Amino acid sequence: MNIPADAGAAREAAPATERDPAAVHAFIERFAAHLTQAGFPRTPARIFVALLTSDSTRLTAAELGEILQASPAAISGGVRYLIQVGLAAAQGEPGSRRLHYWVSQQVWRDIVRLRDRQFTSWATELRAGVAVLGPQSPAGVRMAETASYFEFISAEMAGLIARWEARTAGPPASGTESTASGTQPAPEPGAPGTGATSAGTGSAQ
């Protein structure tokens, strides 16, 4: 996870917001419980959500321990897990050994990409299993269908991410419209295929 050069300054400049600490803690525990039910380890899940609730998305180990009422050892293991799976990063302070842990503003996109890589890996292993079991055997047929399912999901996931990135990139420049092959000038009113007519010609029949 790459850190923009001005990320730290931008986060430090962000204004603080008044919140009820008890309500924030309750939210952290509820959301972390959902992540745990989905297979996320509990302590990393709590740390991850705590980072999400920070306006700067960055906290020290001591701050995380205070928010979560967790031991330094638990925080250390939790952030190490998040870093290993690519959901968090550590950034040091000049002249200090203290680290800030942070999550990307695009972290949910990172999570989807991580799951997509898992689907691709599973599909590859399942295809190998089909060869071992025999493609005509009942188990081989079931495994081939499962591999096809993960391959389909992975392909669709890539398309969803691309459409989301296009959607969040902002509207096209004035006088242009997006097409499947890129951006081209918008047609004049009355041009063929626009569904509009030139002034004075009347409506289409």
Expressed in percent and rounded to 5, the helix, strand and coil fractions of the chain are 55, 10, 35
Cα torsion 30, 35, 36, 37 to 10°: value is 90
Q: What is the CATH number of domain 17-104?
A: 1.10.10.10
Please give the pLDDT value at position 84. 93
Please give the pLDDT value at position 16. 57
What is the residue extent of each domain of the chain? 17-104, 108-168
Q: State which residues of the chain have pLDDT below 70.
A: 1-17, 170-205
Start-to-end CA distance of the chain, whole Å, equals 58
Q: Measuring CA to CA, which residue among 113, 41, 57 is closest to residue 89?
A: 57
Q: Which residues contact 68 (CB under 8 A, 6 or more apart)?
A: 28, 46, 47, 50, 75
Please give the pLDDT value at position 195. 41
46's torsion region: left (phi>0), alpha (psi -120 to 50) or beta?
Answer: alpha
Q: Are 16 and 56 in contact (CB under 8 A)?
A: no
Please give the pLDDT value at position 11. 46
Determine which helix (DSSP H) or strand (DSSP E) holds 113, and give its type and residue range: helix 107-133
Q: Are 75 and 47 in contact (CB under 8 A)?
A: yes
Please give the pLDDT value at position 17. 64
pTM of structure = 0.65
Q: Which residues contact 160 (CB under 8 A, 6 or more apart)?
A: 112
Please give the pLDDT value at position 10. 42
Please give the pLDDT value at position 6. 40
